[in-house]
Amino acid sequence: MNQPQAFDVIAVDTLLERARALREQGFRLVQISATQLPDQVELTYSFDRDSRLTNLRLNLPNGARLPSISGVFGCAVLYENEVHDLFGVPVDGLAIDFKGNFYKTAVKFPFGSTKAPCAAPAAGAPAPCAVEEVKK
Amino acid sequence: MAYFKMSWLALKWALKKPATSPYPFVPRRLLAGSRGKLSFTKDGCVYCNVCAKKCPTHAIVVNRANKKWAIDRLRCIACGYCVEACPKDSLTLKPEHGAPTITRDREIH
Amino acid sequence: MARTVIPFGPQHPVLPEPVHLDLVVEDERVVEARPSIGFIHRGLEKLAEKKDYVEFTYVAERICGICSFIHSQTYCQAVETLMNVPVPPRALYLRTIWGEMSRIHSHLLWLGLMADGMGFESLFMHSWRIREQLLDIIEATTGGRVIFGSCKVGGVRRDIDDETASGILKELDEIEKDMREIARVFLEDKSVKARLCGIGTLSKQEAYELGCVGPMLRASGVAQDMRTLGYAAFGDIAVEPVTRTEGDSYARSTVRCQELFQSVSIIRQAFAKMPAGEIAVKVTGNPTGETITRTEQPRGEVVYHLKANGTKNLQRFRVRTPTFANLPAMLKVLPGCDLADVPMIVLTIDPCISCTER
């Protein structure tokens, strides 16, 4: 039932090359997932062929730019916009750039920090960070 | 052909009793396993606080010193975790759903 | 020709949930569709940092109100993989049975919405009448109508005894008979065919490359079904993916209607093969490691990416839901169609927006 899972760690500049090679072999993009670690964002690209997963892993320092693979896999656009809107990772070369309006969140980049985005609001009071956002 | 099938289906159901029930006049049929209202029986409770700890929504508050058990009905999701955890079987999930809660106050027993 | 932008949604009669499309139209023909989602982004993935991994089963189940059970099942499967929990076989069979019941009720809900969307009101009533019978079975066995709450890490929380099982099988025969009746009416009706055949066509190649999942992909001729991975009891129960080759809206509807009967047959097989024994094991400790778990939801493949670091809270909980994967295909098939066909095409994707945004 459980497939063996390997996460193939690659460098950022080889991402496009690897993605192109996978596409030529007939893989489909399953998902792109990001995890915020204290000083870096860890990205996982999962590809599938004949129900078997191949995972690529990228470690991106905070603030570094991510090359888009939307030119290779068209459906990556949504995942990359999601990574940008939730984690604040700037993505280069997006086929369709929503410019941060893909998700309508009260807080900008809500997942982009290891701390909780909002402190627990006092009873009856609006969430403090939502108010700050409006003031800007 | 499909027109006849649909007409036949419509005719069949026109002659049958309605599948719905006249709700406010006839109460809904209770299903034995349904997770409805959480009920608390005071006898036997040792105020051990296990239900409050197990509650995923923190709806239950137990005060051991004053021997009080309280529940915020608006938070309760009727998951039945407290019922499984209770060592004295003081808690049960009744199949009926009970009257709606209209105040934010905790229900204190 | 002058172009007009027509907003579609977030509130629209055919959409039960908010998604917004900006349709660029020339005359009556759509030339471009621009989506925007995020109206109901709840940040459930971030909540994993506050709720411990046992409590989080409930949150995972509430990601969606329709495919709820399979969400909790996938979550539990992922945590069990991380912690190497040997789940008792009876629990796996019960999960399979409930999972298939939730598939039937989701497909019947979709059939009703579809019929309602095209103005076939009586079929809408019939399909929801049948769904109600199934919801009663679900409520009697799990305690909830759509939020089952019966899955937990290490197994399931309720058992189905033999007497109840034979009662369910008898009711299932009735339900199957009724479903055959309405599925035949729906699929053979001339106006339904006129409304669905040949619109929103997606070729096999496009469907695969755009990363479609579920009935959307199978209707285009790709036999992909995550149940063939053999999770839960699917190792013992063979599943042959239902496929069509046309790739249009009618093919997608046919696939879903046929899956209703496939699920009924899976439930029968599962009851016949279900072993006796325990329904849950005690789970202690905290998860560590990382896993990607996939299961088949009514709308297609769902991907759970879990990362744990040995504390009681998960470090990362990420869900890629089927509708999210089907959105690019929706944007691909909309250009070129008539404005009046847009609701039908959107409905054949069976959009589940609260899943998509989590």
Reported as a single tens digit per residue, the pLDDT across C10-31 is: 878 777 778 888 888 888 888 8
Q: How confident is the model at residue C33 (pLDDT cuts 50, 70, 90)?
A: confident
A49-58, B99-108, C274-283: the lowest-pLDDT one = B99-108
Query: What pLDDT score was predicted for residue C261?
Result: 92
pLDDT tens for residues C42-59?
878 888 878 888 888 888
Domains of chain C: 42-357 (1.10.645.10)
Helix axes C249-273 and C89-117, enclosed angle (nearest 10): 150
Q: Which of C305, C306, C307 to mutate to test the interface with A (most CBs of A within 10 A)?
A: C305
**C61 closest CA partner among C160, C135, C153, C141:** C153
Task: Answer whether residue A117 shows pLDDT above 60.
Answer: no
Number of CB atoms found within 10 A of residue B105's CB: 11
Tell which phi-psi region holds residue C154, choosing left (phi > 0), alpha (psi between -120 and 50) or beta.
left
Q: How many beta-carbon pairs below 8 A join chains B and C?
A: 55
Per-residue model confidence (pLDDT) at position C28: 85
Residue in chain B nearest C141 by alpha carbon:
B33
d(CA A45, CA A43) in angstroms, rounded, equals 7
The band of C264, judged by pLDDT with boundaries at 50, 70 and 90, is very high
Q: Indicate yes or no: CB of B19 within 8 angstroms of CB of C132.
A: yes
Domains of chain B: total = 1
Q: Report the CATH number at residue B92.
A: 3.30.70.3270
Residues C103-114 have a mean pLDDT of 90
pLDDT score at A133:
35
B89 inside domain: yes
Confidence of residue A1 (pLDDT cuts 50, 70, 90): very low
Q: Return left, alpha or beta for A12; rule: phi > 0 is left, psi -120 to 50 is alpha, else beta.
A: alpha
Domain that holds residue B81: 29-108
Max distance between CA atoms of chain A, in angstroms, equals 56
Q: Does C129 touch chain B (CB under 8 A)?
A: yes
Would you say the ipTM is above 0.95? no
The band of C107, judged by pLDDT with boundaries at 50, 70 and 90, is very high
Give the tens place of pLDDT for each residue, C292-307.
Answer: 888 888 888 898 988 8
Cβ partners under 8 Å of residue B80, min gap 6: B35, B93, C143, C149, C157
Mean pLDDT for all residues in chain C: 86
Angle of helix C162-188 versus helix C121-142 axis, rounded to 10:
160
Which residues does chain B have with pLDDT short of 70? 1-3
DSSP-based three-state secondary structure for C303:
strand
Q: Do C3 and C30 form a contact (C-beta atoms < 8 A)?
A: no
- Is residue B14 included in any domain, yes or no? no
> Has residue C340 got a pLDDT over 70?
yes
B40 occurs within a structural domain:
yes
Q: Residue B23 falls within a domain, yes or no?
A: no
The pLDDT of residue A118 is above 80 = no
Q: Which helix (H) or strand (E) holds B93?
A: strand B91-93
Cβ contacts of A8-14, under 8 Å, gap ≥ 24: A8/A54, A8/A55, A8/A56, A8/A57, A9/A57, A9/A58, A9/A59, A10/A56, A10/A57, A10/A58, A11/A58, A12/A58, A12/A60, A12/A64, A12/A66, A12/A67, A13/A67
Question: Which residues on A lie below 8 Å from C46 (Cβ)?
Answer: 110-111, 116-117
- AA letter at C316: R
Is 80 exceeded by the pLDDT of residue C334? yes
Contact C323, C349 (CB under 8 A): yes
Residue B13 lies in a domain: no
> Is residue B102 included in any domain, yes or no?
yes
Question: What is the torsional sign of CA C25, C26, C30, C33?
Answer: negative
Residues facing C302 on adjacent strands: C295
Question: Is B81 domain-assigned?
Answer: yes
Query: Which residues touch C37 (CB under 8 Å, ≥6 apart)?
Result: A102, A103, C19, C20, C327, C353, C356, C357
pLDDT mean over A111-123: 54
Report whether pLDDT(A129) > 50.
no
Does B17 fall in a domain? no
Span C305-328, mean pLDDT?
A: 85
The answer, yes or no, to whether residue C38 has pLDDT greater than 80, is no
Sequence-ordered list of residues with C-beta below 8 angstroms from that of C28, at least 6 positions apart, any chain? C338, C339, C340
Percent with pLDDT over 70 in chain A: 79
Question: Is the distance from CB of C149 to CB of B79 less than 8 angstroms?
Answer: yes
Q: Which of A48-57, C93-102, C237-246 has the highest mean pLDDT?
A: C93-102
Q: Indicate the residue of C235, C303, C328 with minimum beta-carbon distance to A75.
A: C328
Check CB contact of C190 with chain B, cutoff 8 Å: yes
Domains of chain A (ranges; CATH) run 7-104 (3.30.460.80), 106-136 (no CATH)
